[in-house]
């Protein structure tokens, strides 16, 4: 059993629920008319496009959780190094994106505390990389 992959997989499971439930909670509280009118369907479609993009990230968490837990608990996946590198890089870039976009928009360091999801993404990346035994 690879403990680091197990930790990374469990962090992804936590992220699935936090991101999925948190996204729905947030999006349901934003009025549809707060979204811009877009040519292909107005505010309703704009809101659904945000929802779809949001949950696209949730799907990445789900797939990463499944793969990391399989790598931690079974020998089914034989090329764990390549997959672990891909997951590590993915979550490093998620973390950077989550840090920089709000920081650039607000120009306030406090956004790093108010939007701390980048920490979870870095933790997943570090645990996954540690699982390689490098």
72: closest CA among 125, 132, 134, 6?
A: 6
State residue 38's pLDDT score.
87
Instruction: Please report, in tens digits, the pLDDT of each residue of the chain (134 residues total).
Output: 999 999 999 999 999 999 999 999 999 999 999 999 988 888 999 999 999 999 999 999 999 999 999 999 999 998 999 999 999 999 999 999 999 988 898 899 998 998 899 999 999 999 999 999 87
Q: Which pLDDT does position 19 carry in this prediction? A: 92
pLDDT, residue 115, reads 87
pLDDT at 41: 81
pLDDT at residue 67 in the model: 97
């Amino acid at each position: 059993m690879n403990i680091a992959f197990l930790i990374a997989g469990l962090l992804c499971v936590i992220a699935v629920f936090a991101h999925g439930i948190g996204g729905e909670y947030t999006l349901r509280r934003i009025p549809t008319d707060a979204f811009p009118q877009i040519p292909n369907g107005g505010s309703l479609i704009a809101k659904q496009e945000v929802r779809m993009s949001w949950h696209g990230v949730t799907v990445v968490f789900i797939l990463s959780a499944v793969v990391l837990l399989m790598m931690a608990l079974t020998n089914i996946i034989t090329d764990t190094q390549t997959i672990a590198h891909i997951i590590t890089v993915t979550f490093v870039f998620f973390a950077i994106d989550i840090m920089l976009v709000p920081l650039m928009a607000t120009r306030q360091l406090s956004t790093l505390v108010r939007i701390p999801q980048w920490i979870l993404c870095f933790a997943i990346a570090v645990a996954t990389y540690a699982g390689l035994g490098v």
